[in-house]
Chain A
Amino acid sequence: MKSARNQFILLGIICQGLTWDGYAVAAASVGLWMLSLRLARIAFLIPQAFEPVALVGGCLAGYWLGTLPGQTSHFFIGHGITCLQALRAMRPLNSREKLFSLVAACVQLGVGCTVILDFRFVFVILAAVFLIPRSLVELQRESFLTSAPEKAPSPSPPLSWAAYASIFFTMIVVFVGFPRAAIGSPLQNRRNPGASEGSLVDSILDPTRSGLAQSGKTIFQIEGKNLGLLRSFALVDFDGTRWFPDTRASLKGLRFVPTNDLPKLEHRRVRVKEVAFLGRVLPTDGPVSFLTGKFFRRPLQNFHGIIECDSMWNTANNVYEFWLNPQPHTDLISQGLKSRLTQHPEVSPRLRAWLDARIDGTTSPIQQASKLEAYFRENFTYDIGAPVLKRLNTLEEFLFDQRRGHCERYASALALLLRMQGIPTRIVVGYLANSQSWFSGWHNIRFKDAHAWTEAFFPDVGWVQLDATPRSRDPSTGIEVRDFVDALDLAWFMNVVSFDGAMQRDFFSGAAQLAERSGAWISQHRTDSTTVLLAVLGAIVVGWTFVSSRNRVPRQESATRSDSDLRASHYYGQMLQILHRSGVSRMPSQTPRELQETIDAHYPAWAGNTAPLTKSFCETRYGGRSLSGSEEAVLRTALARLKETAATKPGRSGPGSPEVGALDKSC
């Protein structure tokens, strides 16, 4: 496991395991890998012929398991590779097999890049930055040593932090600058919107039953100015106890304005985190003039202005954008619809008296509606845990007895009271954008931000939003940690995961504009900028010179000295060989100077040639002096003369010729 290659393979296996829902398969894969390494240590061998079988078997098993609900069979080959890697961990591999295992791990990591798109990917990519280079070094070293005759058990050459930093930097540069071409948005994930987490309507109608009602989990994040109430469902029909959506409302296509007009309109950008919770509806805070997005198909609008899609799927980054129509066309409502929108239970005398008392003095329907809205806000209490209302005469119990409850009760009460006055109303369920992130500037819409309000139709004005819900007593307090986490999450998805061709173009055009502005600033402040530029350049030159003088020059000199040392030793060695052939051997205890003195004393004919060789050797070897080209020529000449002189000396290897050692003893 100390091997970087093994660690990288493990990373690939983990990535492959994470293609399944949850962490169970990833953990099982890690266990299998560990077991394989353990078995390899006790020399447990499985025949090599079994490896293709394991590969195919793993692929088939992965494909079959992928057909189960909630899973995918897209990555079945990777599961086969996991089995193969585990089997191969049990035996020693040759260099080609090791390279293949590395490539296979890269493939699995690539799979990870397409399915692990949240914060976990940061750990994966950091591990990859660390492990891929180390694995390559290890592989190269092993292949180098295998082909080298001596298999020295030396450790892998360590990589400097500068190398890791340069790899990381190059990775960022490539990511930012690599042509995106057709890369649009991230992978379409396998998960389909399900109903497991409950729907918005259920949560609103009975928040005490739904555990998500007060959850801080973010449903979506929205960017825009002057955000209104985000509409998702319109409840029209009331059966005395419950409200129901308008199932008879026909859907029609959206009428988009030309794209040239979009810059003039209010723009909203929404990133949805919980697609399943939306129920195929795109929340909007007004009439839509233009809509784009890639995680839904065929958006249609019903009479109530709700945008519903044919289908919706979960992608890694579900983003849609819409532009609001500032002057919406007001559709008149038909008589049939008007009768539905004014349906209400029978009004008791007590309720009628109460209602008359509330709207006393007002004749205009709008004023009546405003007065009722204000009354609820001022005299009632917001309470999520209010007791369940009686099934009979719920409105009166709410108005006269409890006088507290959550948003749906106020929306429902106001809608019914206005209907009693003959004003067409509906309840709209959606979200309240009241928590803007201090970090990102986006509004985080959480489960607890689900809301219901009333919309009333006035012939001259159109639909008007009326929110009778009193203000909650426990408003959210300041900056929260989850805001920071949400901001990070948003930044990651919007700037990294969704870094597509359009964003890349924006990035470069922004950089170009910045450069242009900088150029303009420099031209305006020429004197100042020239001074700054010269100072920066001067600092760079001084720093560079300092570093060079500190590191390079001494090393360079040392290298030259070593070279000269080598040459001088060579010439001196040649001299010793010639002397040895002529019967004069240098004793191990003799220094070069002592040898020269001996030669001076006993072989004066040689002394003239051996002296420069000895001198240059001593000065270069022990004095650190470098050897010049002219000196080398002199040494070569001296060596040639010495060879001639020594060859003509009679009895050069005869028994009579004394050895220097013997002479020393006599001296």
Chain B
Amino acid sequence: MKTRLTKTGWLFLWGAVLLYLASLTSQSSLLILLVGIFAGCAATNLVTARRIGREVRIGAPMSECIPEGGRLLQSWRVTAPLKIAAGFLEVTQKDAVEPLFRIPQIPAGTVINTVPTRFFKQRGAYPHDHLRLTSSFPFGLFCCSIPLSLPGEILVVPAIYPAECPPASGFEPMLGGKFKGQRRSESGAEFAGIRPFRPGDPVKQIHWKSSSKGTGLMVKTFDEELSGRIGFILDCDPGSHSSEFDNTVRAAGSLMFAALDKGHHVELVCMIDPETVSITPPFADGEEILRGLARLQPKVGSMSKEHLEMAGSRLSNKTSICLVLTRLTPEIIEVLGGWIGKRRRVSVYAPENTHMEGLPRGVNVAWFGKDRITDRT
């Protein structure tokens, strides 16, 4: 438990020193009674605040997932098993300026539930094992803080914004796929027509209305439903400034969700680990993608030519490649040239104000900012 004097405490300490000096010059020892009141307040504050820090218990939800810029929704439980009222409680996360929540007063021996008020502006995992409970009750002269190690965490996922889906390739039949193929199938959402019954056709496929017209048994046919594949390669280089990587992660998340909404398969390779590909089927809720992006940390030098080539090789050959970059380098351009040479469909997303000169022909280019993707060409 750490105990320190607050600004008010320092002010009153100096005030007490001045009063003592004044008692020397004015020769009135009654001034020491005033010093005694200050000392009494400080002592009471010290004892009470330490007691509160020792005995107040915090119960936190095991996990909560919120988007960037959002507030927590689940309540935290604060138990004060004290005979006296407690108050001026502050629960702060490690290295955070804004407290998670503050409680002005808790009546003696009660339990209250409170929803944290802090806005989480940056994605990431905020474990509860680095919390700090602070109290300066009742006079604000001394502040006692005690580290809390609770189970659970708060996961702040990147804020997803509307984006246009990158071009996909490698379309394959997929029930519920949003792309219409040239062939007909026996199942689907869009009715295409009828054809004569062939042996082996299931009875439930028979279109009884047209069969009843005397031309023989007819069966229903539907438009073929296709689903494409998009492989995302996420640059994990920190970029030129602190927010650039977060912007990149946000853009990647938005693009992936746009692809999932379009009914494509999404493959993701993060350049921290270029050998691992995570595949998300169409129409998945994408929760795992967001959780993974929330925990992603930048790594200097992760975007080398060899790593990029390896990442490309891990993606299936039919997959369209979508490269989300923190910066564009000649090495990347060289690799892009190789992919284009192999007739792969490639899209590049780079931060705003990135010069896209020297890119091979056929590469789709777009720029992303903090909360939008612009000027796609």
Q: Which residues of A contact B (CB under 8 A)?
A: 99, 103, 106, 109-110, 113-114, 117, 121, 125, 128-129, 132-133, 136-137, 139-141, 143-145, 147-150, 152, 154, 157-160, 162-163, 166-175, 178, 180-188, 316, 496-500, 551-552, 555-556, 558-559, 562-563, 566-567, 570-571, 574
Residues on A with C-beta less than 8 A from B137 are 157
Q: A110-B34, A144-B88 are in contact. Are A183 and B27 (CB under 8 A)?
A: yes
Our pick among B27, B83, B139 for the contact of A187 (Cβ within 8 Å) is: B27
Residues on B with C-beta less than 8 A from A571 are 62
Question: In the complex, are the beta carbons of B33 and A171 less than 8 A apart?
Answer: yes
CB of B104 within 8 Å of the partner chain: yes
Our pick among B30, B34, B84 for the contact of A497 (Cβ within 8 Å) is: B30
Residues on B with C-beta less than 8 A from A114 are 22, 26, 28, 30-31
Residues on A with C-beta less than 8 A from B29 are 175, 180, 183, 186, 496-500
Residues on A with C-beta less than 8 A from B192 are none
Question: In the complex, are the beta carbons of B36 and A137 less than 8 A apart?
Answer: no
Tell me which residues from 55 to 78 in chain B have a Cβ below 8 Å from any Cβ of chain A: 57, 59, 61-62, 77
Residues on A with C-beta less than 8 A from B104 are 141, 144-145, 148, 152, 154, 157
Our pick among B37, B61, B82, B102 for the contact of A171 (Cβ within 8 Å) is: B37
Closest 5 A-B residue pairs measured CB to CB? A171-B36, A167-B40, A555-B81, A170-B40, A140-B140
Q: How far is the CA of A549 from the CA of B342 in the complex (A)?
A: 80
Chain A CB count within 10 A is highest, among B39, B83, B105, B138, for B138
Residues on A with C-beta less than 8 A from B37 are 125, 128-129, 132-133, 167, 171
Question: In the complex, are the beta carbons of B79 and A187 less than 8 A apart?
Answer: no
Residues on B with C-beta less than 8 A from A186 are 27-30
Interface residues of B: mostly helix, strand, loop or mixed?
mixed
Q: A117-B28, A157-B105, A170-B40 are in contact. Are A562 and B136 (CB under 8 A)?
A: no
Closest to B38 in A: A132
Q: How far is the CA of A109 from the CA of B35 in the complex (A)?
A: 11
Question: In the complex, are the beta carbons of B11 and A99 less than 8 A apart?
Answer: yes
B12 to chain A, nearest CB (A): 8
Closest to B76 in A: A566
Question: In the complex, are the beta carbons of B27 and A170 less than 8 A apart?
Answer: no
**Interface bits B13-33 vs A (CB < 8 Å: 1, else 0):** 001000110111011111111
Question: In the complex, are the beta carbons of A563 and B138 less than 8 A apart?
Answer: no
B161 to chain A, nearest CB (A): 25
Residues on A with C-beta less than 8 A from B333 are none
Q: A106-B15, A128-B34, A559-B79 are in contact. Are A148 and B24 (CB under 8 A)?
A: no
Chain B CB count within 10 A is highest, among A152, A158, A559, A571, for A559
Question: In the complex, are the beta carbons of B23 and A163 less than 8 A apart?
Answer: no
Question: In the complex, are the beta carbons of B43 and A170 less than 8 A apart?
Answer: yes
Question: In the complex, are the beta carbons of B11 and A103 less than 8 A apart?
Answer: yes
Question: In the complex, are the beta carbons of B15 and A132 less than 8 A apart?
Answer: no
Q: A136-B8, A178-B36 known; 8 other A-B pairs, CB under 8 Å?
A: A140-B8, A148-B102, A157-B105, A171-B33, A174-B36, A183-B27, A559-B81, A563-B79
Q: How far is the CA of A98 from the CA of B221 in the complex (A)?
A: 81
Residues on A with C-beta less than 8 A from B139 are 133, 136-137, 140
Q: How far is the CA of A180 from the CA of B27 in the complex (A)?
A: 10
Q: How far is the CA of A497 from the CA of B27 in the complex (A)?
A: 10
Chain B CB count within 10 A is highest, among A162, A175, A563, for A175
Our pick among B19, B62, B85, B86 for the contact of A110 (Cβ within 8 Å) is: B19
* Sample of 6 A–B contacts (CB below 8 Å): A148-B104, A150-B117, A166-B44, A187-B26, A567-B62, A574-B62
Residues on B with C-beta less than 8 A from A183 are 23-24, 27-29, 32
CB of B351 within 8 Å of the partner chain: no
B115 to chain A, nearest CB (A): 10
Question: In the complex, are the beta carbons of B27 and A185 less than 8 A apart?
Answer: yes
Chain B CB count within 10 A is highest, among A128, A144, A158, A159, for A144
Q: How far is the CA of A166 from the CA of B42 in the complex (A)?
A: 11
Closest to A99 in B: B8
Residues on B with C-beta less than 8 A from A555 are 81-82, 109
Q: A160-B84, A559-B81, A563-B57 are in contact. Are A133 and B41 (CB under 8 A)?
A: yes
Question: In the complex, are the beta carbons of A140 and B61 less than 8 A apart?
Answer: no
Our pick among A147, A497, A566 for the contact of B59 (Cβ within 8 Å) is: A566
A93 to chain B, nearest CB (A): 15
Closest to B22 in A: A110
Residues on B with C-beta less than 8 A from A169 are 40
Residues on B with C-beta less than 8 A from A171 are 33, 36-37, 39-40
Tell me which residues from 129 to 152 in chain B have a Cβ below 8 Å from any Cβ of chain A: 136-141
Q: How far is the CA of A407 from the CA of B83 in the complex (A)?
A: 70
Q: How far is the CA of A121 from the CA of B136 in the complex (A)?
A: 31
Residues on B with C-beta less than 8 A from A132 are 37-38, 41
CB of B124 within 8 Å of the partner chain: no
Q: How far is the CA of A114 from the CA of B82 in the complex (A)?
A: 41
A611 to chain B, nearest CB (A): 21
CB of B217 within 8 Å of the partner chain: no
Question: In the complex, are the beta carbons of B32 and A133 less than 8 A apart?
Answer: no
Question: In the complex, are the beta carbons of B138 and A137 less than 8 A apart?
Answer: yes
A272 to chain B, nearest CB (A): 17
B59 to chain A, nearest CB (A): 4
Question: In the complex, are the beta carbons of A106 and B141 less than 8 A apart?
Answer: no
Residues on A with C-beta less than 8 A from B8 are 99, 136, 139-140
Q: How far is the CA of A78 from the CA of B334 in the complex (A)?
A: 79
Question: In the complex, are the beta carbons of B34 and A106 less than 8 A apart?
Answer: yes
Our pick among B11, B109, B138 for the contact of A133 (Cβ within 8 Å) is: B138
Residues on B with C-beta less than 8 A from A500 are 29
Q: How far is the CA of A574 from the CA of B34 in the complex (A)?
A: 58
Residues on B with C-beta less than 8 A from A109 are 34
Q: How far is the CA of A566 from the CA of B11 in the complex (A)?
A: 42
Residues on A with C-beta less than 8 A from B79 are 558-559, 562-563
Question: In the complex, are the beta carbons of A184 and B30 less than 8 A apart?
Answer: no
Closest to A160 in B: B84
Residues on A with C-beta less than 8 A from B44 are 133, 163, 166-167, 170
